[in-house]
Structure 1
Amino acid sequence: MPHTLLSLVTAELAAPADPRAAAMAGALAAQYPDASRAVLFYGSCLREKNLDGLMLDFYLIVSDYRAAYGKRWLATANRLIPPNVFPFEHNGLIAKYAVLSEADFARLNSPAADNVSVWARFAQPARLLWAADDLARQRAIAAVAGAAPTLLSLARPMAQEQDALSLWGTGFTLTYGAELRAERKGRSLSIVDADPDRYRRFGNAALAQGLPPSPEPDQAAALWRVLQRRGKWLSVVRLAKASFTYAGGIDYLAWKINRHAGTAIQIKPWQRRWPLIGALTLLPRLFRGGAIR
């Protein structure tokens, strides 16, 4: 009997992960005792056997932003331009984590999202390493289960072939054009090539259950142009915000720009003293490097 998409997502999120990453997830949740609902581990580090020296990626799902933060402006920033991103260290490992409310996490994995950043990531493998209770676990699973159908439904009118792997490849190519990416050209297709069996199973299960309605081809092309423009501008705005919310954020911003634009920016002392102004002086490098078009 074929597996349903929900059962595939549930099993994948529950699959074993590096114990050090799991311990880090628990420690991260403990930093927000009044708000933590779930912690998800995602990204390239899932495939690594040695995490030392790597930057791990987590999403912290919270009940709401006011409960998460003691500072009102952080809650407002997270609500208006989700997510907030922060650094974290635990037992010799380093990570960055993004904060989303349960409501925003569900919305941003669905066709209601106005940008690709969350569903593009959670259509890929992830691990649910910590949950506050069974309800929090089930809500996180249900949200993640919305990511693949969202990607595939928006890819369908743009794809030349309609089999599952072709839809995945088209979808990832389009999403990579909708964010600032430093990876080499063709990276979007290599995601599927790295585990075609996984993407075939998930794709076929999503197709079998029925995808959300897809736009007509001409409407889809226009929608993707909007998503790509909005996604790149949102990336810039989030980077600028990170220079304020992220400890050492101006250095993080310089690192990101150096990766995207091939520059070798060195942060000056005044830029660390005035990080938001410093960020505004750095962002034009992204335009000159061709990352924003």
Structure 2
Amino acid sequence: MESVAHAAAHASIPGPNDSVPLDSLDAKIVQYHYATQKILKLTSQVKTLIKNSQTEDLVPSYKDSILLSGVIFNVNDNIYRRSEVLINGNKFNPAQSIEPTLSLAAVSFDCMDNSTNYDTTTVSMPVMKKSIDQLRLLELLLINAFEIYNTRLKQAMLERSSFKSTALTFSELSDLEQFPELLNIPMLLNNPIKEVPATQEKIKAYLREQDMKFLKLNLEGFEASIAKLKEHADSLLLCRTKDGLMNHPHHQVLLHRSLILLLRYADI
């Protein structure tokens, strides 16, 4: 009886045996879930930027908003090409959405440079209608990308449940998916124009001034993100001892959380 009681007490104490293994399928699930959470946050911020722009009658910066998407459009070649179209100031046909396919392919988190076809010989002032139109297309592209990721996520989770008994709860990962670098998007609004610039030199000076303002806002967001990443990375250092490992509030999914940190670094 004593040995049974001892075994029961030992079983009730969390240990390495209750950890969730990380295999290639779980790695893909973490990727897909990370992307869906970023898309939801980015979509919400873009909606707020459009609303703020219309409320304050200020022209929003659609290019900064698109670039802050990071690597999430890498999920599909056609989705990525459409993001290129937007960053170059052009449009795509929103009626032709990219249909999700039954695929469990991993997503590349290598940051690919968007091709640019800018005409640097002449520059023009930001235009309200064009900027709003581009942001609405970005919103639709984000929704389309979400559908693709979510389809893959559901398929992967279904496959996982067919042969794995260990549960994977996303609540254990949510604190790593806050995306501080996106919080300033609603403030990416061009300052009111005090005078109508009549020359290319004045237009360029105005645009440089706006670029510096947006750069400052974006740097603040990325500094907050990097500080948060360091905080989470430092907590992993405490797991080098058994006691530190067992006292970590998410010791069961440390590998999954470590992967999210790597994805965050790559994305940023």
TM range (shorter): under 0.3
With the length of structure 1 as denominator, give the TM-score of the two structures: 0.22
The structure having more radius of gyration, on CA atoms, is 2
With the length of structure 2 as denominator, give the TM-score of the two structures: 0.24
Which protein, 1 or 2, shows the higher relative CO under an 8 Å CA cutoff with sep ≥ 6?
Answer: 2
